[in-house]
Every structure is written in C-alpha cells, then in structure tokens.
Chains A and B, each alone.
Chain A
Amino acid sequence: MTSPLIRGYEVVIGFETHAQLSTASKIFSRASTAFGAEPNTQACAVDLALPGTLPVMNKGAVERAIRLGLALGSHIAPRSVFARKNYFYPDLPKGYQISQYEIPVVQGGSVSFFVGEEQRTVRLVRAHLEEDAGKSLHEDFVGQSGIDLNRAGTPLLEIVTEPDMRSTAEAVAYARELHKIVTWIGICDGNMQEGSFRCDANVSVRRPGQPLGTRREIKNLNSFKFMQQAIDYEIRWQIEEIEEGRAIQQATVLFDPDTGETRAMRTKEDAADYRYFPDPDLPPLAIAAEWIERVRADMPELPRAMAERYVREHGLSDYDASQLTQSVALAHYFQSAVAAGANAKLASNWITGEIARRLNQQDIGIADAPVTAVQLATLIGRISDGTISNNAARQVFDALWTGEGREVDAVIEAKGLKQMSDTGALEKIIDQVLAANQKNIDEYRAGKDKAFNALVGQVMKASQGKANPAQVNALLKARLD
C-alpha cells in the first residue's frame, strides 16, 4: 500500500499500549487487582512501599507476557531484567516504578490486520512488564489531593510498535486488532473505560522521502473513537504548524474529547532523567524453554488461524471469516451454531447480518444475545428443510429476540408460518391464479420473463406467503412450458 498523503504530507504513527494483565493479584504483591474497590483498601504493605518490603514476581504476569509473545511471533527473552525508573510523584509509593528497560521480556514480533481489503503488518519493537502507579484524585479535596493506591502495583504489559502506521485508519485498525488479540488470548480484559487497555500514539508528519519529523505523543487514548478524533486532529494541527512555518516541538499531549483538540502537557525540556538502573531487589527474570512450551500448549487457536480455517472448511469469504473472528465469544457462537447443525454459510450470514445489526443497535455483546446459537441453528434448519421461507424466518427470529417466543417450532406453529408442502392445495391455488391471469400467461409465452414473476407473486399472495417459492416456480413452469 502506498501511503495516503494529506496535503502532500506523509503521516507516521507508532503506538505504545499499556495492557493491564488479568491476574487476580498484583505484579509484585498479593493484593487484589479488582477494579472499583474503596480507595486504598487493595494496597498491602508492599504496594504502600512500607520500609522493609520487597517485590516478589507474580508468575501469572510473566505467563501472560509469554502468551502475547507467542501470539505475535516475538522472541521471548530467556533472561530479561527489571529496572527502576526513578521519579517523585505522590501516587508512586516507592519513588520509582519497577519496569523493564534495557532487556524486555518480549522482543520483536508483528501484528497483521486488514484496513478495508488491504492487509497491513505493524512490527513490534518490544513488550515489557511493569507495575502501574496509583491514582491522584484532585476533585473532592479542597486545596489538597487524595491518593488512591489500589491500582499501584497492577501488572501492565507495555507494547511498543515501530513507527509503521501511515494513516489514522491504519492506527485505529492496529489498536483494534491488538485489543482483539489481548482479549482473545485472555491476558487482558480489554475494558478501555476502566483503563485496562490504554494507548499512546506517537504522531509525526513529513514530506515523502524526508527523514522522520518531530513527533508528539498523544497520551492515554481510552476509546477507539477518541483515538480516531485525536490522531486526525493532531495530523491537521501539525501540518498547519509546518505550513505556517513553525517547527514542531517534541511534546506529550492530551486529547480533550470536549473540544476535540490535543494540548501539550509537557515538552522535551521538562523531560525527567529517570536514572534507570537494574532493580537489585529482583534477580533477572529467567524463562526456560519448557515454560514457553507449557504456555504454548495451552494457547487457544488465534483469530487469524481460525479465520483461515473458516475459509478453508466452510467456504466463507475472507471478510466474513474475519468478521466472525472479531472476538472469542463471536467465534464461539458461530461454531456452536454450526455444531448444532446449521449450514455454515447461512449461519455466517445471519451472524454478520441480522444479529450484528441488532447487537449494534442495542449496544450489547454476543454473549448477551437473546437468541442462542442452538436456536439460530434450528431456525436455519427450518429454512433449509423448506419448512419456512426466509421472510417467515425473520419473523420467527424477531419473536425469539424480543422474547415473544422461545421455541423455533412453536413460534412457526403459533404464527402459522409453515410453508405449504401439500402439492394438491398448491395446484388448486395455481389453477385459480392461471384462470384469472390469462394476460400474464400470454405475455410469458411471448417471451416476457417478467410476466412469469408476476404469476409467482400472485400464487405467493394467494397462499398468504406459505407456499414454497421454489415449488411454485417448478409447478408453474411445468404447467406453462
């Protein structure tokens, strides 16, 4: 793909994503990581940095890092090193954050995804383990700040890309794909509102062929919508600055959803010297090959592999297969329907069509869909075996979705939607229709195909929609040809 240019500028975007790992306890202590508890009730002596406390690595966090590395084809370092990032802030209890600096646990790898029809690949630089800080609460405290250390010590995986993205659409597609992968492999709950998946976008622009421009980093993008708006705004702002002869200053910026603008928090001049050095409280993190193999054996089928399998096994289109593998839950729903006997293509059409539309409308996930995969399979079965027409199926589906009915067959029965399978009755209707529409018969015989369709329509209407259209077609043809 050639890079799309905006006013003659090429856009360059790199991402740093903080994925909160789904461990029950913190990365270096045994306190709970559950969200939403009363302030400071989930901070133990280690999280409070009480004198004499020491960090002990949570193996679950390491295992999740290994899972990501395996999912993205990265090198998993047999030996990685925790370092201290030193700075003072009230919600940083130790006065340093334990992170990984020179030798991260996950190195390299890539994320592939579609932007429209085009496949793109973004290379990863690294993913490293680190602890989160607490929260400073500036509201509700007149002239003071409150500190909540519940989040302090929550395990994070910081996932850093190369500056490989060339448009907002590509950046958002990358973030969506990464979000899908971390939730798919179960290392992160993906809840962006609660801050479980936070993205920082490094954005710069340049004339094609020129060296990289100065970047500005948009911090803490916690929804895909804001991500799109923020990057779009930032690109426009940077181009305008350059066009007006002003140089871009390296800076960290925040996006304000209310104004739709980004504004600088700090510039490079205020950049702190973090005095990184290896944490003497933690020996280097050793990951033996056997550990990696144990994790590998426990890995689920990844979405891309699953989508390829759907294309191969069920003859689905690439697009439909990728739609069905947007989440584990959705893929599971599809597979359950197929396992319950549904035709895969029809199931795919229903899920990516009617069901997706309704989920969207109600803003709920597939797990909350009122129609189960087994019900869907039964419904599709009734279409396939000719019991009901497609139109009737939609009515049945609606009844199931709204809770009006629970059993597919009972709904068909109650609504009288069964197609007419009795040939004698249908012949009778056809006789009446033919007798009343000699003009259409003549036109058809004169070569007008349209006239045949009109006859089919009449028969369907006379049957109150219960006739099987294929059967009507066949019988009419037999009578007229």
Chain B
Amino acid sequence: MSAELHEMGVTALAAALRERKVSAAEAAEHHLARIRQHQDLGAFLAVDEDLTLGQARAADARIAAGTAGPLTGVPIAHKDIFVTADLPTTAGSRMLAGYRSPFDATVVHRLGDAGAVTLGKLSCDEFAMGSANENVAVPAVGAAAPIPVRNPWDRSRIPGGSSGGSAAAVAARLTPAATGTDTGGSIRQPASFCGVTGIKPTYGRASRYGMVAFASSLDQAGPMARSAEDCALLLSTMCAPDPDRDSTSLDTPAEDFSRSLGNSLDGLRIGVPREFLGDGVAPGVRAVVEAALAEYEKLGARRVEITLPRTELSIPVYYVLAAAEASSNLSRFDGVKFGHRASNYRDLADMYAKTREEGFGDEVKRRIMIGTYVLSHGYYDAYYLQAQKVRRMIADDFQRAFGECDLIAGPVAPSVAWKIGEHGGDPVADYLADIFTLPASLAGLPGMSVPAGFDGGMPVGLQLIGNYFGEAKLLNAAHRFQQATDFHLRQPEGI
C-alpha cells in the first residue's frame, strides 16, 4: 500500500482513510519521508514531524470513534503566507524569520477542523511578491541558506510563483494538496508550470484572516491539488463567511462544490478572448490551449470568440494598485513590535531604515517604493485613481463578455516555466508574464488552472475563468476535462 500512497489524491485518500484501508499515521509518515527525500526541491520552509504525527494519531482516533470529518487524516501543507500557531510563519521573508503567530489563519483553522493533518509550511516568494519563487529569503528545510524552489519537471527551472512551493510539493507528490494564495495569478501560474490543478475563488469567498497581507483588495486563498475533484472537496471547506474577522468576506453561504461535478457540458459556451492567443503566446502553449478547446467541443461545449480589450492594461493597473496596497500593508514591519529589528542604530529613523533595509528583499522594496510613489501627493490622481478607474472598466469588460459566454478559457501564462535566473533579475520580464492571470484578479473573478498538455516536456495549464460565484461551474468544467484526459495524472520523472 505504502508505495502507492503518494499517488493518491485527496478524494481517494480520504475514502481509503474512512474505509480504514490506510491510517492517518501511515499517510503522514509516508509523506514526511518523501519530504525528507526531496528536500533539494526547496519546497518546504518548516516541518515538524512530531506535530504532524500527533495530528495524524488524533485523526486516527476520530476515524475509530466515527467522528471523522470530510478530510480527516488527509495530509495538507500550507503556503507560508498563512499564519499558524503550531509552526513558524515567515512569508518567505527575513523580516519574519522565527516569527510565531498566536493564532491560525481562518483557512488553516477550517481545514484543521475538517480533519486535515498539517505536513508543514511551503516556500513562496517573499510576501507573495514574485512569479518564479526566486524571491524567497529564508532557508528551506534542510538548506543552510535561502534557495529557489525547483520545478519537479525540470529542476533547472522555476516552479512559478508566488505559490511555487505549493505547486512543486503537489507535483512531486510530497503532499496530496496544498493551500496557495493568488493576488495576480500566484495559484494559477505555478499550477500551470508544475502541472497541478489550482483554483482561486471569487474575491471574498475565502477569509483573508491570517493571510499575511500583500494586496488586500486582490489576495485570495485557494487549494492546489492533483485534480478538480480534489480542489472541489478542499474549496468547499475553505470557503465560508467570516464576518467577525474579515470585513471583506462575503456572506455567501458555504457550498458543496463537489455536488455539481459530472454535470453535462452540452451547450456550455466557452469564450476565448482574442487577446489571450496573440503573438506573445509561445506556439507550444497556443497549441495546447487549442487542443484543449477542441476537447471541450467534443464534450459538447461551444467555442465563442470574445474580446477583453483592456487585457494589456491589466499589467500597469495591477502593478500600481497592488504596490500601493503593499506599501501600506508592509508598514507594520518596522522593528517595533515583532519580526526583525536591526541590531545597531542611532535613533528611531535609523532603526526604521536599517530594519527595513535588512529585513526586506529587493523585490519587496521595489514594490514598496512604487506603491509609495503612486500614493504620493501630486501623483495619486494620475496613478492610483486612474488605475482604480481602469480596474472598474476591466471588470465591466468581463461582464460584457459573460453576456456571450458561460466560461472564459485561455492560457494561464504566455510560456512554460523558464530557467532559474533566466530573467536575470529583470522584474519587468516577470511582470509581463502575468498578463493572462491579472485581469480576473483585478475583476475579483474565480479562475483556475487545469493541466492541459506539455510544451517541450514542461506542463501547460489551461486557464478557466468563471463569473462571480461560478466556482462550481468552473470545477465541473475542469472535472469533465480531466475525465476525458490524463494530463493531470502525469508525474514528473524521478519522483
């Protein structure tokens, strides 16, 4: 049994646990062993085997007592953006090295309540700022210094970001599932690059309480797993109103996203934005997307050509707004109350300057500076306010498009995962690669990445974007695709 354990997804493993074909302790031990074995991937920032095994034994007791929840005993790992009481939380930053939260994020808490067993904390770009997981500033488990996360499909390549640790860990079968967060594509893009399934729900469906804030109006939590079916199970647990902790949490009741899996796709109108298949898209990626669309037509869906005319503008709009919010959200890291404080300083101003100079990495500083600039007196109207107006227009464009289609499909990213260091520290090259994930983020729409093929041996994800609260429809469309294809079941070699 043990040899196959890591090949089981969440749904299968949950069933095996319920049927007592496998114990939670066995599942935990098996995955912990794999995490140790694959430390070179740099996927984990924190592991506490005793803690995990303790949770697993408690899960076994619940199963034995017949009080198991839907996820009891299923191992899961959390992106290190979620604060956890039992494990350190760094957000990938020196600023929070050694920080321990007194409470769990709502999402962590909900998954724990449903019975999930925590394997550890996953690497990510510092404060979730990055598209390659190269910006992590704290050492991974087993490493003496910070290391970029490696893509299990080709260890010389990046896994995508910022949820790169989550995507790599799921792809390498170190965990059946992981949490991620998506601000401008941070679930979808690494899911695409690592060949896993990931979904970002409608903004406000998952509580942000306990997520180290990057850009508050965009940040959303979501699951990353092997299949749409697994994601549906996890997302049903993750999404619920949290009005006492998060004012932006919507009061939309929790929903069982698994229930509509298997619905027919007959007559489903899939909108393909012409802007998503232009010259900037690698031919291999375009071919995968075209083939996936053809598959959908075989499943009964109808392809509709649509337009999202402000797709290109989403890049400047996003990098103004996200940076503006980040510049303010990160002000609390000042060395006064928690986290890093410079050891030598002359006075208060010097303490602030040195603390933040030492504690933040380059990309974080860059965004703080951009954000500070666009909010400054005399620049606010031209940048921040203008970006807010265009953001509204981008959202309106989607509503027009949804008048003609039920779902939108296209590539997640213009290319497959690039080589570590390939962008040579050119932030704009990274920013441009976000072009297809940013529009749905700015509009607050749910979006997902579904493994749809390969380009030069590297996975390519198909992006599906739904209308507000269209998670069930998205997951069903992905599930039907996965029933007809096996891309999501492929495994990297040497894993």
State the A residues within 8 Å of B (CB). Answer: 45, 48-57, 84, 86, 88, 90, 93-96, 147, 273, 275-277, 280-283
Contacts and interface: CB of A to CB of B under 8 A. Distances in A.
A273 B101 contact: no
Nearest to B106: A52
A94 B334 CA distance: 9
A57 B248 CA distance: 11
Given A49-B337, A53-B209, A86 B248 contact: no
A95 B432 CA distance: 31
A283 B208 CA distance: 14
B392 to A, nearest CB: 13
Contacts of A54: 208-209, 213, 245-248
Interface residues of B, number: 44
Contacts of B244: 56
Interface stretch (B187-195, B375-383, B402-410): B375-383
B247 A55 contact: yes
A90 B352 CA distance: 10
21 contacts: A49-B332, A50-B83, A50-B102, A51-B89, A51-B212, A51-B213, A52-B210, A54-B246, A86-B327, A86-B375, A94-B331, A95-B330, A95-B331, A95-B334, A96-B331, A147-B337, A273-B376, A275-B327, A275-B376, A280-B216, A281-B248
A60 to B, nearest CB: 15
B236 interface: no
A332 B480 CA distance: 74
Interface in B66-123: 82-83, 89, 91, 96, 99, 101-103, 105
A51 B352 contact: no
Grouping DSSP codes into helix (H, G, I), strand (E, B) and loop, the B interface class, with mixed when no group exceeds half, is: loop
Contacts of B478: none
A52 B213 contact: yes
Contacts of B481: none
Contact of B375 (A49, A277, A283): A277
A57 B249 CA distance: 13
B243 A56 contact: yes
A280 B388 CA distance: 12
Given A48-B337, A90-B336, A283-B247, 6 more contacts: A48-B338, A51-B332, A52-B83, A52-B210, A94-B332, A147-B337
Nearest to A91: B336
A55 B217 CA distance: 14
Contact of A56 (B102, B103, B245, B336): B245
B111 to A, nearest CB: 15
Contacts of A282: 247-248
Contacts of B105: 52
B348 interface: yes
Contacts of A281: 213, 216, 247-248
A93 B331 CA distance: 9
Q: Which of A50, A54, A86, A282 has the most CB of B within 10 A?
A: A54
B132 interface: no
Contact of A50 (B82, B101, B247, B331): B101
A162 B252 CA distance: 44
B331 A86 contact: yes
B328 A275 contact: yes
A277 B103 contact: no
B375 A275 contact: yes
B20 to A, nearest CB: 36
Contacts of A48: 337-338
Contacts of B208: 54
Contacts of A51: 83, 89, 91, 96, 99, 101, 212-213, 332, 338
Interface string B306-335: 000000000000000000110110111010
Nearest to A271: B377
Nearest to A145: B348
Interface of B: 82-83, 89, 91, 96, 99, 101-103, 105, 208-213, 215-217, 243-248, 324-325, 327-328, 330-332, 334, 336-338, 348, 352, 372, 375-377, 380, 384
Given A49-B337, A277-B384, A88 B331 contact: yes
A276 B375 CA distance: 7
Contacts of A49: 332, 337
Contacts of B102: 45, 50
A147 B338 CA distance: 13
Contact of B338 (A50, A88, A96, A273): A50
Given A49-B332, A84-B328, A283 B376 contact: no
B332 A93 contact: yes
Contacts of A283: 247-248
Q: Which of A84, A90, A96, A277 has the most CB of B within 10 A?
A: A277
A273 B380 CA distance: 11
A12 B246 CA distance: 44
B247 A45 contact: no
A93 B337 contact: yes
A280 B328 CA distance: 11
A277 B82 CA distance: 26
Closest 6 CB pairs of A and B: A95-B331, A280-B217, A280-B216, A275-B375, A52-B210, A52-B83
A155 to B, nearest CB: 15
Contacts of B334: 88, 90, 95
B391 to A, nearest CB: 12
A395 B216 CA distance: 71
Nearest to A56: B247
Nearest to B102: A45
A96 B336 CA distance: 14
Given A53-B209, A88-B334, A277 B324 contact: yes
Contacts of A96: 328, 331
Contact of A52 (B211, B337, B348): B211
A277 to B, nearest CB: 5
A86 B83 contact: no
A128 to B, nearest CB: 18
Contacts of B211: 52
A84 to B, nearest CB: 5
Contacts of A86: 327-328, 331, 375
Contacts of B325: 280
A282 B334 CA distance: 23
B157 to A, nearest CB: 31
A84 B336 CA distance: 20
A264 B102 CA distance: 43
B89 to A, nearest CB: 7
Nearest to B219: A280
B332 A52 contact: no
A287 to B, nearest CB: 15
A277 B380 contact: yes
Contacts of A95: 328, 330-332, 334
